[in-house]
Amino acid sequence: MRIDILTVVPELLESPLSYSIVGRAIKKGLVEIHVHNIRKYGKGPHLQVDDYSYGGDAGMVMMVEPIYRMIEELRAEREYDEIIYMSPDGEILNQGIANELSLKENIILLCGHYKGIDQRVRDHLVTREISVGDYVLSGGEIPAAIVADSIVRLIPGAITDETSALSDCFQDGLLSAPIYTRPAEFNGWKVPDVLLSGDPKKIRVWQDEQAIARTKELRPGLLAED
C-alpha cells in the first residue's frame, strides 16, 4: 500500500510517521508513505500557495493550481483509489472507514491549512472528505497522521501479534474489556481473579461480558447502531 500526503507544512508529519507501529511498518516495507510539499508548485518567486478569499472573508485560501499540479504529478505515475481531503465537515472517521481504507492500494491525503482550500479542488479532484471530529484544527496534517495511523496498524504484519489489532475497541462494534499486567496486586488493587485462573474459556466469557457492559455504560449508541 502507498499513501501520499500533500501539505504545506511537511515538518508536522515527520515524527508521527517515524516511530512506533507506523515507523516500523514503513521500515518493514509494508507501506510507503510519501509526504509532498504543495509549495513545490507555488506561484512566483515566493512560491505562493494561498490567496485572499473572494467575497472578502477573513483568512487565506489555498489556491487550486498548486494542488492540481501536485495531484497531476502523482496521478501520472499511478492510479489512486481515493483522493481524500481532511476536512472538519467530512464524514467522521471511525474504525469501519479505517478498515475499508486499509484494503486500498494507493491513496492521497490532502491537508488544508489557513482558511481551507478553494472549493473547486473539492468539486473536481477530491473523491472523499474525512473529519477527525467536530472541532477545528489549524491544519489537516494531524488529521492525516491520524488517518494514516489508523490504516497502517491494520495492515497484516504491522502489529506483531495480529490478533491484538482485531481485539481492539470497535472492531466488533464493542469497546474492549479492561486489561491488566503484572503484578497481580499493587497497593491493595487486585487484578480480577478470573484473569489469573488460567482457564481460557472462562476468561473469554468474562472479557465478552465486560465488553458488553462497558459498551452499554460508556457508548450505548454503538449497540443501538446494529
Binding site for ligand SAH (CB under 6 A): 86-89, 111-113, 115-117, 131-133, 135-137, 139-140, 143
Cα angle 96, 143, 19 (rounded to 5 degrees) comes to 95
Residue with smaller CB distance to ligand SAH, 147 or 174: 147
Dump strand ranges (E) for 120-195: 128-131, 185-186, 189-190
Distance in angstroms (rounded) separating the CA atoms of residues 141 and 147? 10
We find the least distance from the C-beta atom of residue 114 to ligand SAH, in angstroms, to be 6
We find the least distance from the C-beta atom of residue 109 to ligand SAH, in angstroms, to be 10
Residue with smaller CB distance to ligand SAH, 117 or 211: 117
Distance in angstroms (rounded) separating the CA atoms of residues 176 and 215? 8
Residue with smaller CB distance to ligand SAH, 25 or 67: 67
We find the least distance from the C-beta atom of residue 191 to ligand SAH, in angstroms, to be 38
Distance in angstroms (rounded) separating the CA atoms of residues 211 and 176? 5
Strands 106-110 and 2-7: parallel
We find the least distance from the C-beta atom of residue 43 to ligand SAH, in angstroms, to be 19
Residue with smaller CB distance to ligand SAH, 87 or 106: 87
We find the least distance from the C-beta atom of residue 126 to ligand SAH, in angstroms, to be 11
Residue with smaller CB distance to ligand SAH, 72 or 89: 89
Instruction: Identify any residues that bridge with 84 across adjacent strands, giving them in sequence order.
Output: 109, 128
We find the least distance from the C-beta atom of residue 118 to ligand SAH, in angstroms, to be 11
Closest CB to ligand SAH: residue number: 112
We find the least distance from the C-beta atom of residue 226 to ligand SAH, in angstroms, to be 27
Residue with smaller CB distance to ligand SAH, 89 or 209: 89
CB 191 within 8 A of CB 185: yes
For residue 4, give Cα distances in angstroms to 53, 62, 145, 200.
Answer: 27, 18, 11, 43
The DSSP line for 165-182 is HHTSTTTTSSPPPP---S
Distance in angstroms (rounded) separating the CA atoms of residues 215 and 225? 12
Residue with smaller CB distance to ligand SAH, 33 or 144: 144
Residue 223 carries which side chain, given as an amino acid letter? L
